[in-house]
Amino acid sequence: MKLNHINLTVTNPIATQAFLVKYFQLKLMGKENDTISFLSDDNGMVISLANMKLGMESEVQYPATFHIGFIQESEERVNEINQQLQVDGFNVPAPSRQHGSWTFYFLAPGGFTIEVLC
């Protein structure tokens, strides 16, 4: 079995899409859209980014432990992403050894948590 897609409710699909393309090399599927956007990775996984206003929510609320993870090929790559995020003004903690991985977690544009690890 192969996971095909995941839907994330976000505060701003266009900003979230641009962020995921820039830092995690996801690819836009179709046209940019402020209602719902679709991105894919090199393995065919699809992430849909649905504007929270579609469901009439007033804010995005995920459980405290909810996150999506992007596995990197090396600790150096994790460090590079961390440094680029900091340079670009994102508030991200330094990577550290957690649960056997070199990793960090941060709140992404759109209102959900991302883990970057190797």
Between strands 5-10 and 46-51, the pairing is parallel
Angle at 68 between CA 83 and CA 96, to 5 degrees: 40
Q: What is the CATH number of domain 66-118?
A: 3.10.180.10
pLDDT digits (tens, 9 = 90+) for 63-107: 999 999 999 999 999 999 999 999 999 999 999 999 999 999 999
Total-model pTM: 0.91
Contacts of 12 (CB under 8 A, 6+ apart): 34, 51, 109, 110
Domains of the chain, residue spans? 1-53, 66-118
| CATH architecture group of domain 1-53 | 2-Layer Sandwich (3.30)
